[in-house]
Copies of this chain bind each other. A is one copy, B any other.
Amino acid sequence: MSARVRVALLGCGVVGGEVVRLLHEQAEDLHARIGAPLELAGIAVRRPGRTRGSIDPTLFTTDALGLVKHDDIDIVVEVVGGIEPARTWLVEALHAGKSVVTANKALLAEDGAALHDAAAEGNADLYYEASVAGAIPLLRPLRESLHGDRITRVTGIVNGTTNFILSSMDSSGASFHDALEEATALGYAEADPSADVEGFDAAAKAAILASLAFHTRVRASNVYREGITEVTAGDVASAKAMGCTIKLLCIASCVDGAVSVRVHPAMIPRSHPLASVGDAFNAVFVEAQAAGQLMFYGRGAGGSPTASAVVGDIVAVARNRLAGVRAATESNYADLRIQPMGEVVTRYHVSLDVADRAGVLASVAGVFAKHDVSIQTVRQEGRGDDATLVVVTHTATDAALAATVNDLRALDIVREVASVMRVEGE
């Protein structure tokens, strides 16, 4: 191996452009930290003719697969995203013994096993710090710092777009629709926001976090997922009345040898450290048996923060190559069962539009009791035919709550089950 470390970059959009800039601007420092110079040897793009700032145009190629397999390349950095062709490129690279750094959460959550297996076969590194929570150093601490401990639960705000929308609904009382429009206008939401607002992005990250936290393999399809499109201004006001705020949470927990992983909006108390995470920031709250409560906070997206994480990984794999070692970045010995959502235990906030007649509370309470769902508080708002009953439960299984809601819908005096939201963080 030459004294240089040669890097191939796949993709040169917002993140890729920032990676090129950092490699260039910090070249001297990176050389000192690695012990050898990094050399950007090629950049695969779809449209090589496009002008991309001051980047040397001879670096561009459309032949990603050729670049990846080239003898001269030591490290392949992928910032294209999506399942294919990224998977083919990275599996080829790893089989050929090249180290891989990727920010591709969708691919890792969908078929991380293919990448980890290829890395093991090729005796190559696979690093992916940038795939979850952007610049926040999170995967390395989970993977390494806490491996003397037992993580019991990971609760995260891992999608900046939805956090911006919910924070805006919380501070202004806006509707989901208006807050989404504001986020789009400010560039926080994409033209098609469904990956964010339907929770797909958060679910992919949840799968990666759960896999690392619990030493098992969790795929995106194992993650229970609800987005924030049904969250109303009324829900936000109701949360406020309880001293709570609504966040889109990813929650991964391990109980009795089973892992549950879910993404859904939830009410959390304003005193919880995650409650004050505003704007498009991300934060991940980790509970471990010995370490207690930890939180990691920072920018979860954006070209520059994501590039910071990518270049940090490049330095790590470059050092590994020079030392002639490989770091296993997956640990799946635990091989745990995925707990179905119906078994998951949490608390619920249920809002019912009811007719304010004699016996309404007794009827409603009877339905909860029938399914063994214990009520913590009931509050009635309004009188006559426009009354609202707000019920907050003690912990119950999701299945018991779902059955309760079904039976409530069948009651004559319940005009509508206006909202059902989980209550977390207490």
User: Which residues from chain A sit less than 8 Å from chain B, CB to CB?
Assistant: 18, 22, 26, 29-30, 32-33, 129, 134-137, 140-141, 144-150, 215, 273, 276, 288, 290-299, 302, 304-305, 307-316, 323, 325, 331, 333-334
Q: A333 vs B33: C-alpha distance in the bound complex, in angstroms?
A: 8
Task: Tell me the complex Cα distance, A315–B141, Å.
Answer: 13
Contact partner of A135 among B135, B292, B311, B323, CB < 8 A? B292
Which of B134, B150, B276, B314 contacts A148 (CB under 8 A)? B314
Question: Which residue of B32, B134, B144, B276 contacts A215 across the interface (Cβ within 8 Å)?
Answer: B32
- The answer to whether A292 and B312 touch across the interface, beta carbons within 8 angstroms, is no
Shortest Cβ distance from A332 into B: residue:
B32
> What residues of chain B lie closer than 8 Å to A334, measured between beta carbons?
32
Measured in the bound complex, the distance between the Cα atoms of B215 and A294 in whole Å is 26
Is there an interface contact between B298 and A293, defined as CB atoms closer than 8 Å?
A: yes
Inter-chain contacts of A129 with B (CB < 8 A):
145
With both beta carbons as reference points, the residue of chain B lying nearest to A307 in the complex is identified as B290
Choose among B149, B215, B308 the residue that contacts A291 (Cβ–Cβ < 8 A). Answer: B308
Q: How far is the CA of A33 from the CA of B294 in the complex (A)?
A: 22
The 16 listed contacts between A and B (C-beta, < 8 Å) are: A18-B290, A22-B290, A30-B148, A33-B215, A135-B149, A136-B294, A144-B312, A144-B315, A145-B309, A146-B308, A291-B298, A291-B299, A291-B309, A292-B298, A292-B299, A294-B298
Closest residue of B by beta carbon distance from A101: B148
CB distance from A328 to the nearest CB of B (A): 9
**Which residue of the partner chain, among B18, B137, B149, contacts A145 with CB atoms under 8 Å?**
B137
Cβ–Cβ < 8 Å partners of A140 in chain B: 137, 140-141, 144-145
| Number of identical protomers | 2
Greatest chain B CB density within 10 A among A18, A29, A136, A147 is at A147
Distance, CA A287 to CA B294, complexed state (A): 19
| Complex CA distance for A309 and B302, rounded to whole angstroms | 31
Q: How far is the CB of A103 from chain B (nearest CB, A)?
A: 13
Residue of B nearest to A28 (CB): B333
Minimum CB distance partner of A331 in chain B: B33
Q: A295-B298, A298-B294 are in contact. Are A312 and B32 (CB under 8 A)?
A: no
Contacts of A305 in B (CB 8 A): 290-292
How far does the alpha carbon of A198 sit from the alpha carbon of B23 in the complex, in Å?
Answer: 43
User: Is the Cβ of B288 less than 8 Å from the Cβ of A308?
Assistant: yes
B148, A315: Cβ atoms under 8 Å?
A: yes
A149:B22 contact, CB within 8 angstroms: yes
Write the nearest CB–CB distance from A167 to chain B, whole angstroms: 14
Contacts of A308 in B (CB 8 A): 146, 148-149, 288, 290-291
The 7 closest A-B pairs by CB, nearest first: A148-B311, A137-B145, A137-B141, A135-B291, A290-B308, A294-B298, A148-B312
A299 to B26, CA, bound (A): 34
A311 to chain B: which residues have CB within 8 Å?
A: 148-149, 290
- Residue numbers in B under 8 Å from A313 (CB-CB): 148
Residue among A129, A296, A308 having the largest count of chain B Cβ atoms under 10 Å: A308
**Alpha-carbon separation in the docked complex, A331 to B30 (Å):** 12
CB-defined contacts of A146 to chain B, threshold 8 Å? 137, 308, 312
Complex contact A135–B294 (CB within 8 A): yes
Q: Which B residues are CB-close (under 8 A) to A22?
A: 148-149, 290
Nearest B residue to A297 via CB reads B295
A147 touches B33 (CB 8 A): yes
| B291 with A294: CB separation less than 8 A | no
Is B288 touching A147 in the complex (CB atoms < 8 A)? Answer: no
* CB neighbours of A314 from chain B (8 A): 148
What residue in chain B is nearest A292 (Cβ atoms)?
B299
